[in-house]
Structure 1
Amino acid sequence: MTPTTVAPPTGATPVDLARGFLTGGVIGVSLTAFIVGCALGKAPLIVGALALLAVYGLLFFLAGAPRRAREAALAPRTALALIEGMEAKQGEETDVPVRFDLTVAPEDAPAFRIRFSEAVHVSELPDYRPGKVLVVQYPPDRPWRLRVVKRPTPAWEQRAAGAAIDSVPGPAVAGDRAEGCAWGFVTLLGLLLGAAAVVLFFRAELFGGSADARPAPPEQSVSVTVSVTSSSTDAVTTSATGTVSFGPGRSMLDRGALREAVESLTQGGDGGGGGGGRQALTVVVREQLLTVVFSPAGVDAPAFDPRSLPFDRVPALVEEARTTLGVDSPRTWQLSAERLTGSLTIRVGVAGAGGSASLEADGQGVVVRRSPAR
């Protein structure tokens, strides 16, 4: 058997970075415009935000159509592969992410070594052990996109049962490498700049800074209250938003810290919720920062009581997102909660050197969906 070294997938190109920045900017503008439209009661702004997102999604799909057609024209290559090693990661779902280290032996090409991740049902884990021969498929021009054929044809299944494959020495190519932190950084930068642009454009109406702005009714008058609860905690509340920031040494994941921060922003207002607390459109939590976008009085918007969040589950959700979604060396995390779809949805995203990933949970903090790093 003649081994070869497969060229690893390239990192993000300038075109990829530009596309990531534009995508982040459109998402930031659309999401922020939607929230601002709900807060100010501007139906055209809400419709425009949704239309912008839909148009960009269509253009993005059409722009990628030629590339997808070229990739579809190449028939995938089927080959046998020897399991050199595997590592299953713990999770609550029935499909467990498994890191495979394989020696792939194509019929008409030299053998090569590759490492990648794939979800495997917990009941099938005993079938994947070191030394077993599998049937795999991969695009001829992109072997790092290799995937295990879980139900091969009888002919390939028979060949795998009687095959003997020699191990190829490493190093193994990382087949599940993401675009890298540069792509995630520029996408996040575009999102933040897009959101900031919308907030700055409507800052007069949001924060009452315009001299010719219409006076609000007494119950909606804009008043800013700044209070310092301790030497390391600042809380700022307006009629539209509220923030709590922690200083060094404190985290929103500390026991009781997030609940205390939310209650400091919601107590003392009725918010139209009937429960004695202000209703929120969106809650965003980072390591040392809590941001709440409040529902304006008299506006029928999908709001919720931020005190109903499953505070005790938040540290576990963040830890699960950090450790089970395939992001190497996670550096930052963010939790967001909203009720735009009718029921409370909690999303936790993480980003690091291995790319970015997210999971989604319901109002009780039970994970319902995962989007691992790819």
Structure 2
Amino acid sequence: MTITTGPPPPTRGTPVTLALRFLTGGVTGAALAALVVGVVIESVPLFVGGLALPAVHGLLVFLLGMPGRARQVVVAPRTALARIESLQAIGSESSDVPVRFDLTVAPDEGPAYRVEVTQDINLVDLSDYRPRGVVVVQYPPDRPWRARLVKRPTPEWERRAASAYLDPAPDTARVAAPLEDRAFGFVVLLGLLCGAAAVVLLFRADLLGRADPASSPSTAGPSAAATSSTTVVSSATATVALGPGRSFLDEGELDRAVASLTRDGAARQALTVVVRERLLTVVFSPTGTQTLGFAPGSLPYDRFPALVEEAAPARGAGAPRNWQVTADRLTGSLTIRVVVTGAEGSASLEANGHGTVVRRTPAR
């Protein structure tokens, strides 16, 4: 059978479809950003909105798409004969193997065209498909690139396929998804970025306030020596940094620093307290959780200088050294660990909540 060829059927996307894809990407990006920003700024309405927005959008898209889906159901697919120009199994470990077919489709009315489709074929039926063989296909009238092989055609089409001979269509008659369809991925990505940026910009003031707790009204101010120390308090941690020439081993420094963290009167429990030469860090217990915490002011801070001196590898040598004191209740009881590193090596000790030494590890 000799077939005529011509330009492929017109294939174009619609601006409405592109706009809908952009909107879908924007809603997805806005929802993800709302979830993240809601957690960061601790806004429950924003977090709930991030969960509800995709659901509402999906429902609206479903309702708006009902007329189009109904029209597609009414329009019957076209049936035609097709010649297999080549086929290639892409590979699969299941009984159905995805096979890429290069077909010449010859409609009864209209020019023949080339198209490439991928379809799952059962291993048992794979031998029925051979190059230059004629098969029956179906495709939507407005989307000929979505041709599908009919595995069980009607007896009439089966007889036509058995007796037909089709000439191959030239490659210039090949049809594919329109360029707009290929650009849909980019449109969705662009919408996603725009939606996320819109949420971040809308709540940038709250985000900046969280990123710079020192400037927020809820942040505790500096201690009495404001010019030489910095105090920063957030919902999870608090830090006090001393200026040059000062040390937390100096008399009263630790007491003043801890007092500056608790001056608002809130009875916040600490998970861990870490003290270094000029830096105090307190990690607070999460609000509303049952964890082993302790009051930051309950530690024997007046014993810390003696504990550091006692743990030093070379007591009284005056050599440069680094030290750290850590207090926590991870084992159930309040434990104070002191580590001092000097030229002679690193030594440590453990003390109880009263500052009494219970274990020593010599320098090594």
Tell me the TM-score normalised to structure 2 length.
Answer: 0.53
Whole-angstrom distance in 2 between the partners of 1:140 and 1:222? 69
In 2, Cα distance between equivalents of 1:125 and 1:100: 12
Please state how far the C-alpha of 1:179 moved relative to its aligned partner. Answer: 2.9
1:55 Cα deviation after fit: 1.7
Distance 2:87 2:158 in 1: 21
1:208 aligns with 2:225: no
Per-residue CA distance 1:300-321 (angstroms, 9 max, x = gap)? 9xxxxxxxxxxxxxxxxxxxxx
Residue 23 of structure 1, CA deviation? 1.6
One-letter code aligned to 1:17: L
Aligned counterparts, 1:296-335, within 5 A: none
The letter of the residue matching 1:7 is P
Could you tell me whether the CA contact under 8 Å between 1:104 and 1:112 is conserved in 2? yes
Give the CA deviation at 1:17.
2.9
**Residue 137 (structure 1) shift:** 0.8
Question: Radius of gyration: which is bigger?
Answer: 2
One-letter amino acid of the structure 1 residue matched with residue 116 of structure 2: F
Q: What's the secondary structure of 1:130's corresponding residue?
A: coil
1:138 aligns with 139
TM-superposed deviation, 1:142: 2.9
**Gaps spanning 5+ residues in structure 2: where?**
220-232, 241-270, 272-284, 290-364
Over 6 Å off, 4+ runs: none
Please name the residue that 2:315 is paired with: none
Partners of 1:22 and 1:190 within 8 A in 2: yes
Structure 2 residue aligned with 1:359: none
| 8 Å Cα contact 2:99/2:121 also seen in 1 | no
Q: Deviations over 1:248-286 (max 9, x none)?
A: xxxxxxxxxxxxxxxxxxxxxxxx9xxxxxxxxxxxxxx
Q: 1:191 maps to which residue?
A: 192
Paired position in structure 2 for 1:116: 116
Aligned to 1:219: 236
Deviation at residue 148 of structure 1 after TM alignment: 1.2
Count of matched residue pairs: 228
Q: Distance in 1 between matches of 2:238 and 2:191?
A: 33
Q: State the shift of 1:120 in Å.
A: 1.6
Structure 1, gaps ≥5 residues long: 224-271, 273-295, 301-374
CA shift in 2, pair 1:62/1:7, >3 Å = farther
8 Å contact from structure 2 (residues 117, 147) kept in 1: no
Partners of 1:92 and 1:169 in 2: how far apart?
34
Relative to the length of structure 1, the TM-score reads 0.52
After TM superposition, list the pairs within 5 Å mapping 1:69-80 onto structure 2. 69-80=70-81
One-letter amino acid of the counterpart of residue 144, structure 1: W
Measure the CA separation in 2 of the matches of 1:187 and 1:148. 31
Structure 1 residues 117 and 221: alpha-carbon distance in aligned structure 2, compared to 1, 3 A threshold: farther
CA separation in 1, counterparts of 2:52 and 2:178?
Answer: 33
Name 2:361's counterpart in structure 1. none
1:11-63, Cα deviation, whole Å (9 max, x unpaired): 44433332222221111001221233344443322221222212211222222
Q: Cα distance, 1:197 vs. partner? A: 2.0
The 3 A distance-change label for structure 1 pair 186 and 168 is closer
| 2:319 counterpart residue number | none
Aligned counterparts of 2:239 and 2:33: Cα–Cα separation in 1: 20
Which SS does the other structure have where 2:132 is aligned?
coil
Whole-Å separation in 1 of the counterparts to 2:217 and 2:98: 55
Quick one: distance in 1 between partners of 2:286 and 2:80?
63
Alignment of structure 1 residues 26-175 onto 2, 5 Å: 26-90=27-91, 95-107=96-108, 109-121=109-121, 123=123, 124-175=125-176
User: CA 1:86 to 1:187, structure 2 compared with 1: closer, same or farther past 3 Å?
Assistant: same
Separation (CA, whole Å) in 1 of partners of 2:182 and 2:212: 38
1:122, distance to aligned residue in structure 2 (A):
5.9
Which residue type is aligned with residue 208 of structure 1? A
Distance 2:93 2:177 in 1: 22
